Amino acid sequence: MVASRPVGASSEGVRKSMQANKGRDTKPELSLRRTVHALGLRYRVGARPLPKVRRTADLLFPRAKVAVFLDGCFWHGCPVHHSVAVTNAAYWAEKVRRNRERDAETDRLLTEEGWLVIRVWEHESPVEAALRVKREVTSRRK
């Protein structure tokens, strides 16, 4: 029996583009982090809220038990901006479906452990998102 493997890149250009995608420290993440920091909040970056679960939050406020995830519109299936891939459409649709399923599981696991999960889309205003984060963190610290 042959094990199924993910489909490779459809072209050399696609392969190079995919290799250039960053896992963290993207422009939207850096913008959100700068704005949250400017509001006086301090946080951990790329940390696991639950040590036994291999999921990392983009911003983590351990004392307040707030985990912030900044989701990319393509990778997480934004209802407003997600675009359907033209090449390897079935592969990418399944990839996004699995990402959304994992996001829901992460939210559930963290909520069960008393964490507040804040999800921010990459297209959201960093100022509005940072204000939302500050409001929730401040509220939970009281």
The top-level CATH class assigned to 24-141 is alpha beta
**What value does the mean pLDDT take over residues 18-35?**
81
Q: Considering the entire predicted model, what is its pTM?
A: 0.82
Instruction: Please report, for residues 43, 55, 92, the alpha-carbon distance to residue 102 in angstroms, rounded to integers and kept in the order given.
Output: 23, 9, 15
CA distance 32 to 115: 20
Q: Rounded distance, CA 47 to CA 55, Å?
A: 8
Closest CA to 68 of 139, 127, 141, 134: 134
What is the sign of the dihedral through the CA atoms of 63, 114, 99 and 6? positive
CA gap 85, 102 in Å, rounded: 20
Residue percentage of the chain with pLDDT more than 70: 83
Interval 109-130 mean pLDDT = 97
What are the extents of the domains in the chain?
24-141
Q: Residue 2 has what pLDDT?
A: 47
Mapped onto helix, strand or coil, the DSSP state of residue 100 is helix
Q: pLDDT higher for 77 or 117?
A: 117
DSSP state of 48: -
Mean of the pLDDT values across residues 13-38? 78
